Amino acid sequence: DQQVKQNSPSLSVQEGRISILNCDYTNSMFDYFLWYKKYPAEGPTFLISISSIKDKNEDGRFTVFLNKSAKHLSLHIVPSQPGDSAVYFCAASITNFGNEKLTFGTGTRLTIIP
Amino acid sequence: KAGVTQTPRYLIKTRGQQVTLSCSPISGHRSVSWYQQTPGQGLQFLFEYFSETQRNKGNFPGRFSGRQFSNSRSEMNVSTLELGDSALYLCASSFGGPGETQYFGPGTRLLVL
């Protein structure tokens, strides 16, 4: 049962344009969402997070949008840079029990074309 | 501030052996979580330790176990290794409170032959 889904395994975007990565979830108990970026042979690097009490969080070139009614979140990267080429994972957790378990999506490989 | 460190980075074992992986969290972090990443299953939660106690557990067999020491360092043990245990094992640390961000180490790549 895949509770967090990233339906696009890969995405190619021209340098300087906007990259939009999507994530859907099925468990309505999730109330904290994160995006991680991963290079080969390295651990995931935290990018940005959002609590379910918000619908948008912005940090520099990265913005995460949350649509609770649709159980959907997206990560916008603008402008896209070659160094953004990596695999992006969305993750979700239930925080009200001090639950540290993250449930991850399967990842989207983003390629930025110079 | 130093990040999460994991040792060893690479390991080759044969079926039936056991292995112990180590994780040192970011200073001040009391929670350590372990994840397994495989091409077929993605990143899957193994277990989480907080203040030397296992607080959460994923759906893995009992061959996978862990512990946490008083300095928050954690070890993960896999006994009777199977070929399917070949994976990247990642640990992540956080302060352990609700909504605290987890920060990952570089992982240990385990190959079981």
Q: What confidence tens digit (pLDDT) does each residue in A25-70 have?
A: 999 999 999 999 999 878 999 999 999 999 999 999 999 999 999 9
- Is the pLDDT score of B1 beyond 80? no
What whole-number percentage of chain B has pLDDT above 90?
Answer: 85
Do the chains contact at B107 and A51, CB–CB below 8 Å? no
CB A74 within 8 A of CB A96: no
Residue in chain A lying closest to B88 (CA): A41
| Cα–Cα distance for residue pair A56/A38, rounded to 1 Å | 23
Strand partners, B33: B48, B92
DSSP A105: -
The burial of A71, by beta-carbon neighbours within 10 Å (0-12 exposed, 13-18 middle, 19 or more buried), is given as middle
Nearest Cβ partner of B101 from A34, A43, A89? A34
pLDDT of residue A63: 98
B70-109 residues touching A, CB cutoff 8 A: 90, 92, 94, 96-107, 109
DSSP B101: P
Partner A contacted by B111 (CB < 8 A): no
DSSP B56: E
For residue range B64-82, list pLDDT tens digits in order: 999 999 999 999 999 999 9
| Cα–Cα distance for residue pair A90/B89, rounded to 1 Å | 18
Using 50, 70 and 90 to split pLDDT, how confident is the model at B39? Answer: confident
Q: Tokens standing for B47?
A: 């277990």
Q: From residue A56, how far is each of A16, A33, A66 by CA, in Å?
A: 22, 11, 6
Q: Which of B9, B45, B74 is the best substitution to test chain A (most A C-beta atoms within 10 A)?
A: B45
- Is the pLDDT score of A99 beyond 80? no
